[in-house]
Structure 1
Amino acid sequence: VVGGLERSLSGEGGARYARLVRAEPREAGGPRPLAEGSAYPGFRVVRAVRGRELALAGAHRFSTYSLVFRIEDLEDGRARLRAETRAAFPGMAGRIYRLLVIGSGGHAIGMRRMLAGYRKG
């Protein structure tokens, strides 16, 4: 999860978007390998349990949100990666933002792409 997350969240596009919506945090930083307090544009690590769970949180002018990755062991040495997102969209601007991001299906598409990047054949 960690390597894929670094690629997904550390790109210049994410940093530009974080600046545009005034996300906190706006820059990558903190401890590496990932631990509580590590940051990417728009996300801060709030919990990291190696090989089990990675919980991120963030906020910007339209929303507060969290993204939690969980890994569950399956049979035959396989594993399942799950991602859970939660967000609050306060005020009129938040409701409009939610309509644009969630209502359009853009968030679901982005999450599917992110998870597909971790798939191993």
Structure 2
Amino acid sequence: MKRFIKKHPVGFTITVSTIVVTAAVSWGIIALMHWAFFDLDRLEPGELITEETSPDGRYTVQTFLNNGGATVDYAVLGVLTFNKKKREAKNIYWDYHEEEGEVSWIDEETVQINDQVLHVPKDIYDYRRE
């Protein structure tokens, strides 16, 4: 390797620079694709279906019906609101081919939305990741 560097310092610099630029561009494309196609925070709520507050009053979950239009089926979005902390609401549930958003609290930190059981605030259900 030392011999290559001594004989071709410009070629080595160009090779390393090309690798670094390619890696940065690839990372940027992957980040953009995630933001565009998989980021739940980009979803618009839609029409409110139901709203339920946790037994201790710390959280509220609302479900919304999203009408994708003529070529896309209905989907349901579940949004967690923090009632006692100053935190931004969080999208915790996203399911496609769904028109109902039944919410029931199992305990203070466990909610069931349709058939999915989530431990709030950390769990998220997204049908695209199944």
Instruction: Give the TM interval when normalised to the shorter protein.
Output: under 0.3
Q: TM-score, normalised by structure 2?
A: 0.27
Q: Which has the larger radius of gyration?
A: 2
